[in-house]
Structure 1
Amino acid sequence: MTRFLGRLGGWCARHGRLVLALWVVVAAALMGGSLVLGSPVSNDVTIPGTDAQRAHDLMKTGFGPGYDTGGTVQLVLYSADGPLVEKPRKKAVEDVLARLRTMPHVVGVDTPFRRGGISANLQIGLIAIRLQGHDSTKAAENTRALSKAADPARAAGIEVVAADSSTPADKDIKTGPSEIIGVVCALLVLVFAFGTLAAALIPIFTALVSVATGLGVIGLLGHVLDVPKQAGIMATMIGLGVGIDYALFLLSRHRRLLADGVPVVESVRRTVASSGGAVVFAGGTVMIALSALMLGGFPLLATLGWITGISVVTAVLTSVTLVPALLGVLGHRINALKVPFLRGGGSSGSSGSGWAGLGSWVARRPWQVLVGSVLALGLLAAPALALKLGPLDDGYGAKDSEPRRAYELMDAGFGPGVNGPLLVVAELPAKVAGKKDPVVDRIAREVGDVDGVAHVGTPKVNSSGRSVLLQVVTEYKPSDPRASGVVKDIRALSPPGVSVHVGGKVAAMTDAGTRMAERTPLVIGVVVLLSALLLLLAFRAPVVAVKAAVMNLISLGAAFGALALVFSIGLGSRLVGMDAPASSSYLETVFFSVPIESYVPLMLFAVLFGLSMDYEVFLLTAVRQAYLRHGDNARAVAEGLGSTGRVITSAALIMVAVFVAFIAYPDPMVKTFGVGLAVAIAVDATIIRGFLVPATMVLLGRLNWWCPRWLDRLLPNLSVEGHEEEPAMEERPEPVKAGV
């Protein structure tokens, strides 16, 4: 692999302008096509094999318009100046109803002047619009058109908002500010790291091309696949971080070789053959971790994982092709535009640096460092015991967003449960005549008697007479754990011969939590095993491979501890932009607890495990090369930390800056990822890579590179880095074999 990468890097350096032009054209074409054709997203949370999915499938059969491939949109009306039933306002609302009934794909409009459609104070009303035959991937556009039809009500002084989490006010929020902040912070770190503006701009430009290419592909995929609405922002967040980091690693090696007098093209060839191999392996571990999410049994999570992985693939491709091209075009001008008063360390990498000193200090007292690191990591992870998982609802949305405003109005007018109704579908043993049948009446009565049920709607029997549908409103908001308890209690009902199924968002997320709990051990096991196997192939050292996997798991504890502290305990929820409801007490405002979606920890695990492995690979390759030169394990650890510490720290600072910038994004899920990723990367690059890993490697000694003879014969000759540019070896030790 290293020879192929070396030839590829050399060719790109010699044909730099051509490669640069090709990448710009490809990125512009894909991004342009996505902008022109649109980037459809889906909120599909189907989970095959669950009770909620069974209820959904039954609803599509024979219940009429709005229950099949169409859907329902609700417009919430609020009259602050008086009742909606007063003549001028009522006339305006009736005009809105008439306009809605004439719109395309609208097959039913329920007036707010009905039982259950207007609040007790007559100031809040709900218009339910049933759609059929529309393009379900254009939810925002459809909702925008329906909301526009309510302008006569607005003219009469009535506030109208759409109760739909895909409304334009929420969906069209752009990531621009977060991207700009992240890029600016990354540029500052790169300027301090390299001391020249020319060198600092290469990783930024490469990452932007990579992200644009990835987003273009994702946008176009939305026309043929169900792409989650968070996919774009996740791809941008991860793509910026790894794109800049991978280019940084390559650029640092190239500048060191140039400083040693190696010609430009030869330097690029060696850089891509060596550090390029590490980039491919690092990207491979991220892809393995994200691909393992397919075993989670949750299609939304699996799709989010592999689509996010597209940004990692483009980052690797631009790193081994576009970066060499830019280095070839610039030549020695890579050190142009020096920034005054900044020395820049990208070209030295001297083992006499402060990081080498730290490595030597750790090597002299490994046991003390090991104990101290474990205690520090234990303290950081301790809050994770309070981690609270649960579904998020629109009540946690951005304070000024339309979905949150609709949520609060519906809560005030009809109670918290109306924001997350349960859809109960009962399969009947025999055909019934209609909703007055005794069997149907008994089902409705038993459902209504369940603790926590506030209201049961009028039963609806399907066209075959073999299923009945009930809309059930609980006493609890969708994110309240007690709402999930009501779901389970209704499912436990057992009228003679009747199968009761519960659907709706609350039921779906309840099933998602159960599925995640069942599948999490499998996903973690597969990710750890495959990543350890990849490291074994790279380093031919079983102990190092297993230890690296364990170290990556440790950094996750700190991430989950931070999430619990900020969101579950609520100590920092306000700092990250989460706003408590207006009705909250002072204490509730200060400690505003926010549930974390059940699939977030597993997604976070996959992303973090892959990203943490990046730094592990780069540190281990440096230690291994030093050990192969002279055979002194403690000295090799110090030299490896000294040669990579500055680069890894710069890379971690960049990634932390990018992730922190995205905390400003209004989506609560993105905020949780921003906090978790930023804390984990910071801990990983400092406590774990700076102290824990070196201490354990010193204590393990020659066992780090031990490999049984039989395994050494079985493993293919695959290496992360090429060694043709290594200096003459003082003494190359023989690999440590079993029994030696």
Structure 2
Amino acid sequence: MRPQTPQPPRTPPPPRAPGYGSGPTPGPPPARDARKRPATVRLARWSATNPWRAIGIWVGLVLVCLVVGSMAGTEKATASDMGVGESGRAGEIAREYGLVAPASENILITAKDGTLDKATAERAAAQVAERARPLKDVAEVGPTSIAADGSAYLVPVDLKGDPDKAQDHIGGLVKATKSVQKDFPELRVEQIGDGSGSKAIEEQIGKDLGQAELFSLPVTLVILMVAFGALIAAAVPVVLAITAVVASIGLYGLASAVFPDPGSAANIIMMMGMAVGVDYSLFYVRREREERARGRNRIDAIEIAAATSGHAVVVSAMAVAVSMAGMYVAGDAIFSGLATAGIIVVVVACGGSLTVLPALLAKLGNKIDRPRVPLLWRLTAREDREPRVWKAMLRPALNHPRRTLGISVVALGLLALPTFGMKLQQTSFDDFPRDMAVMQTYDRMTAAFPGEHEPSNIVVLAPEGKGPETHAALDQAVSQIRQSPLYTHDDTSPVKVSADGRAFSVQVTSPYGTNSDPAKDALDLLRDRILP
């Protein structure tokens, strides 16, 4: 027999952190030149070795963004910013030649129950006019209109100032309306118009989105606790996402000077910031915990997480940012504002996950797994746990990559087909839910006064020297329009003429809601048959 070669004694592997997945314990990571390491790894290592400095810089940046953004303020998109298509071009001509109509409000007086008492309604209308005329933001109080069936009185009021900022000029009139309502409790005295309607709609939208945000935060925390089984591990992604949202809101205040806020930028930042902030941190934290469970020290585990999950986070953030940048192609202020808000929060959340997150992980160490939620911790830390579902879902793609790619491309193409039929339009009163109080007021007004539906503005720019001929042709067209059954016959709005006699503007009104088929037929008649 040949003598056996003596074997060196086996060194037991380093102990694993209890409660993590099984698998071979790797040795130390191979040494690499620091200059050849990816930027994500270099950032993570610096943050992990200088945790307090990294955390301090992040907190300072968040505060600076918030303060600077608050000082700059957020520029709101105006009606002129959001004009699209023919209506957008008409608005530009009207503004250039001084033909923009003033913002208007309507005070509607109806009976709360039963038949309207005319004498009482007349006194209420007189008080509305009397209290509105002295107000500094009121330009003119028009004559009171009475519904054909006598069920309602309407007091029209024109406001001073920029029509795009009508909300800033309705405070005094709202107080006057409320005071009249208090003096006539048996009546319903309501205000609806450019400023009050827009303000009520924005407040309702903000309230609804705010409720959704408040609901999403605890739900997100619960999901993360189920995923990690520990409170601190679940809280770290949420805290990072919140700081990214705060910083992004401040930065968007600066960006709004170029891409104004269409009204929901802060809500988009909140929702997207919580989504991507939690998502990016989730990848990172989970990978770092897995590496520590395999015996890596804190710095090595963070570096490996940065090289893998950190790289995936960068690629994901770039993909989202580039995709949202496609919204700029539409040339619409709403899309541009939302795209800017989304890109900012995605980039900030990505930066936070690559810098301050490694610092937090290094500082917390094993404490990130405390306090443990007993049942959830046992479920997430089982050593015999095998991800069978994900393997089953990935098996077809791994076995047949080309076929899977082809099927995916076709499926995505089919899902994208409806986008080619999308049309851009400005939102009108008829597009909102009817259970809103402001919409109920609007419906009562248009039911009693069909001519108070949103009008169509006809704006004409005559060639040089063709002003009189153009004016005559426009008068003939307006007469033809108002004789159509699709438009109100008692509309007497005059044709406005610019100072140089080249531009003309007039309003015509359809007695139907803007989303109804008759209203669409009226618009087609106007654009395709009469005006050309």
TM tier, shorter chain? 0.7 to 0.9
Identical aligned pairs, as a percentage?
22
The higher radius of gyration belongs to 2
Within 5 Å, which residues of 2 pair with 1:622-637?
none
Label 1:5 to 1:364 Cα distance change in 2 as closer, same or farther (>3 A).
Answer: closer
Indicate conservation of the 8 Å contact 1:390/1:481, yes or no: no
In the TM superposition, residue 254 of structure 1 has moved relative to its aligned partner by: 0.6
Separation of aligned partners in 2, 1:135 and 1:449: 30
- The Cα offsets for residues 74-128 of structure 1, whole Å up to 9 and x where unpaired, read as 23413215887834433333333343333334333323x1xxx442233334444
Residue matched to 1:478: 514
Label 1:258 to 1:336 Cα distance change in 2 as closer, same or farther (>3 A).
Answer: same
Label 1:482 to 1:158 Cα distance change in 2 as closer, same or farther (>3 A).
Answer: closer
Separation of aligned partners in 2, 1:251 and 1:73: 55
What is the SS of the residue equivalent to 1:41?
coil
Label 1:135 to 1:474 Cα distance change in 2 as closer, same or farther (>3 A).
Answer: closer
Indicate conservation of the 8 Å contact 1:16/1:325, yes or no: yes
Residue matched to 1:143: 170
Indicate conservation of the 8 Å contact 1:20/1:322, yes or no: yes
Separation of aligned partners in 1, 2:500 and 2:453: 30
1:79 maps to 2:144? no
- The Cα offsets for residues 321-369 of structure 1, whole Å up to 9 and x where unpaired, read as 22112112211111111111224677799994213541576479869x9
1:60 maps to 2:86? no
Label 1:27 to 1:154 Cα distance change in 2 as closer, same or farther (>3 A).
Answer: farther
Residue matched to 2:376: 342
1:304 maps to 2:338? yes
In the TM superposition, residue 289 of structure 1 has moved relative to its aligned partner by: 0.9
In the TM superposition, residue 421 of structure 1 has moved relative to its aligned partner by: 1.3
Residue matched to 1:192: 226
Indicate conservation of the 8 Å contact 2:259/2:337, yes or no: no
Within 5 Å, which residues of 2 pair with 1:137-536?
137=165, 139-155=166-182, 156=184, 157-164=187-194, 165-168=197-200, 170-171=202-203, 173-174=206-207, 175-219=209-253, 221-222=255-256, 225-343=259-377, 352-355=386-389, 357-359=391-393, 362=396, 392-415=427-450, 418-428=452-462, 430-432=466-468, 439-450=473-484, 452-455=486-489, 456-462=491-497, 463-480=499-516, 482-493=518-529, 500=531
TM-score by length of 1: 0.57
Once the two structures are overlaid, the 10-residue window that deviates more, 260-269 or 278-287, is 260-269
Separation of aligned partners in 2, 1:382 and 1:249: 29
Label 1:19 to 1:370 Cα distance change in 2 as closer, same or farther (>3 A).
Answer: closer
Label 1:414 to 1:306 Cα distance change in 2 as closer, same or farther (>3 A).
Answer: same
Separation of aligned partners in 2, 1:158 and 1:150: 10
Label 1:346 to 1:288 Cα distance change in 2 as closer, same or farther (>3 A).
Answer: farther
Q: Partner amino acid for 1:146?
A: L
Within 5 Å, which residues of 2 pair with 1:557-576?
none
1:24 maps to 2:52? no
Residue matched to 2:124: 92
- The Cα offsets for residues 136-161 of structure 1, whole Å up to 9 and x where unpaired, read as 45x43433443223223212233213
TM-align CA RMSD: 4.1
Within 5 Å, which residues of 2 pair with 1:525-604?
none
Q: Partner amino acid for 2:240?
A: T
Residue matched to 1:15: 50
In the TM superposition, residue 190 of structure 1 has moved relative to its aligned partner by: 1.1
Q: Partner amino acid for 1:92?
A: A
Label 1:273 to 1:407 Cα distance change in 2 as closer, same or farther (>3 A).
Answer: same
Indicate conservation of the 8 Å contact 1:41/1:229, yes or no: yes
Separation of aligned partners in 2, 1:119 and 1:383: 47
What is the SS of the residue equivalent to 1:104?
coil
What is the SS of the residue equivalent to 2:300?
helix
Q: Partner amino acid for 1:133?
A: G
Residue matched to 2:157: 129
Q: Partner amino acid for 2:303?
A: R
What are the ranges of 5 or more consecutive residues in structure 2 without an aligned counterpart? 1-35
Label 1:313 to 1:397 Cα distance change in 2 as closer, same or farther (>3 A).
Answer: same
What are the ranges of 5 or more consecutive residues in structure 1 without an aligned counterpart? 495-499, 502-740
Q: 1:119 aligns with which of 147, 150, 173?
A: 147
Q: Partner amino acid for 1:122?
A: G
1:6 maps to 2:33? no
What is the SS of the residue equivalent to 1:75?
strand
Q: How many residues align?
A: 484
